[in-house]
Amino acid sequence: PEPLKVLGKRKGLHVGNAIGGRYFRDSGYKALMARECDMLVAENEGKWKALEPRPGEYHFEPADEMYAWAKSQGMLVRGHNLIWQDAKWLPKWVNEYDFGAQPVQAAEALLRKHIVTVCDHFGGAIHSYDVVNEAVDPKTGALRTNVFTERLGAVEQIDLAFRVAREHAPKAQLVYNDYMRPDDGSKKHREGVLKLLHDLKSRGTPVQALGLQSHIGSWDDLGGAKQQQVWRKFLDEVTGMGLDLLVTEFDVNDRKLPGDVAVRDAGVAVLAKDYLDVTFSYPQCRDFLMWGMADNVSWLQGWKEAPRTDGLAMRPTPFDEQMRAKPLRDAIA
Ligand code: G3I
C-alpha cells in the first residue's frame, strides 16, 4: 500500500508521529516512521521537565538528535510544548520557585526566559509549536492555575506565552493544544476551549491554530452520527474564528471494546473513521500526527487511570507490535 505520507500529500496533509526516546533507538520502528511520515514530534523530549530538569541545567541533546534525524529524512518538526499549563507536568523546581518581593515581574521573567531560551536554541528547526498545552480543566471548563497564572492571571499568562513565542519563533505556526473530544463527557471541556480561544482572539493574541489531540475512543457514548454532529459544530466555531486545525496526538482507546482482537480492531477503525471523516472535511486541517504508530510503544499501555478491565494490552495505533498494518491503518488511509 502507498505510504500514509504519500496519500496525505495528495490531499495537502502532513502525516506525523510522536517518537519517544526509547523507541528512537529502535531502527525497525524508525524505518516504519520514515516510510509513513513526513513530520515528527518528540513525545517527551521537548517538554520543560526534560529540557531543564534543574534551573539553568539544559538537556537539549535528546531533542536535537531527534530533530536532526527528522531533517535528514525530509520531515518537518513540531515542538511540544513550550508551556504545559497543568502544574503536575511543570518541573518541580518551577512549582517551588521563589518569586521574591516582585512576584509579577519575576513570574514574567521566568516564563519569558524559558520560551526565549528554547525558541532561540531550536531556531528555524521547528515548523510548528504547541505554545500552550492543556490550559482548560476538562471537568469545569475553567482555566487551570499554576505558579504563573497565580501571579499574572490565566488568560494574561497564555497571551504572554504566545507573544514571546511570536517574537522568538517568527516563522513557526503557533498552536494551542488540548484534548477536548466529541463525546458528552467532554462538553465542558469544549466550551472552555472555545471561550479561551475567543478571549485570545479578542486580545489579538498571535494564536494560529487549535491542536486537536484526538485521543479518541472508549468514552461513555461511542462514536456515531450524534458525535459527528457535535464535533462539526465545535470545529465550525473554531474555524469561524479564523483558526487552523491540526490533529496532534491521534490514537484510539479501546478499553470499552470487546477483547476479541478482530472485533476490537474493527471497532477501533469505525471510531477512527467517524471522527476523521468530519475532521478531515475541514480544509483548515493540514496536519495529522499519531501519538505512537505501533501498539507496544503507546503511552496507553502504561496508563493506570483507565486500563482495560480484562487485563489485555491495548490496541490503539495503526500497526501492531510486529509493525503489521491493522484495520485502523486502512481507516486512516
Ligand atoms: O524516562 C523515564 C525513566 O527514566 C523513569 O525510570 C520512569 C519512571 O517513571 O519514567 C520515565 O519517564 C516517563 C516518560 O513518560 C517516558 O516514558 C515519565 O515518568 C512519564 O510521566 C512520561 O509520560 C508521558 C506523559 O505525556 C507525561 O509527560 C507520556 O510518555 C506521553 O505519551 C504523554 O503525552 C501526553 C502529551 O504530552 C500531552 N497530551 C496527552 C499525552 C498523553 O498523556
pLDDT for 267 equals 95
Mean pLDDT along residues 103-116: 98
Per-residue pLDDT for 308 more than 90?
no
CA 143/CA 196 separation, integer angstroms:
8
Element (H, E) at 19: strand 14-19
Q: Which residue type is seen at 164?
A: V
pTM over 0.95: yes
CA 18/CA 87 separation, integer angstroms:
22
C-beta separation of 237 from 201 below 8 A: no
pLDDT band at 68; cut points 50, 70, 90: very high
How many CB atoms are closer than 10 A to CB 111? 21
Domains identified in the chain, total number:
1
Mean pLDDT along residues 176-201: 97
Range of 122's domain?
Answer: 4-332
Per-residue pLDDT for 221 more than 70?
no
Closest residue CA from atom 19 of ligand 1: 44
Per-residue pLDDT for 64 more than 80?
yes
ipTM for the complex?
A: 0.95
Mean pLDDT along residues 272-279: 96
Ligand 1 centroid to 20 CA: how many Å? Answer: 9
pLDDT band at 303; cut points 50, 70, 90: confident
Ligand 1 centroid to 104 CA: how many Å? Answer: 31
Per-residue pLDDT for 219 more than 90?
no
Portion of the chain with pLDDT greater than 90, in percent? 94
CA 277/CA 221 separation, integer angstroms:
18
Per-residue pLDDT for 275 more than 80?
yes
pLDDT for 220 equals 62
pLDDT for 123 equals 97
Per-residue pLDDT for 146 more than 70?
yes
89 lines ligand 1 (CB under 6 A): yes
Atom of ligand 1 nearest to the CA of 291: 32
Per-residue pLDDT for 237 more than 70?
yes
How many CB atoms are closer than 10 A to CB 221? 12
Mean of the per-residue pLDDT values for the chain?
A: 96
303 lines ligand 1 (CB under 6 A): no
Ligand 1 centroid to 210 CA: how many Å? Answer: 23
Atom of ligand 1 nearest to the CA of 21: 16
Q: Is the preceding omega at residue 81 within 30 degrees of 0, hence cis? A: yes
Picking from 214, 177, 176, 222, the residue whose alpha carbon sits closest to that of residue 290 is: 214
Lowest-confidence range among 27-31, 122-126, 148-152, 219-223? Answer: 219-223
Per-residue pLDDT for 210 more than 70?
yes
pLDDT band at 248; cut points 50, 70, 90: very high
Please provide the distance, in angstroms rounded to a whole number, between the alpha carbons at the two ends of the chain.
9
pLDDT band at 89; cut points 50, 70, 90: very high
Contacts 24+ apart (CB under 8 A), 56-62: 58/117, 58/121, 60/121, 62/21, 62/24
Looking at residue 10, which CATH number applies to its domain?
Answer: 3.20.20.80
pLDDT for 253 equals 94
The count of C-alpha atoms lying within 13 angstroms of the C-alpha of 257, restricted to the half-sphere facing its C-beta, is: 24
CA 292/CA 314 separation, integer angstroms:
12
Ligand 1 centroid to 89 CA: how many Å? Answer: 10
Closest residue CA from atom 3 of ligand 1: 22
Q: Which residue type is seen at 162?
A: F
pLDDT band at 10; cut points 50, 70, 90: very high
282 lines ligand 1 (CB under 6 A): no
Question: Which residues, other chains included, contact 55 with Cβ-Cβ below 8 Å and sequence gap of 6+?
Answer: 93
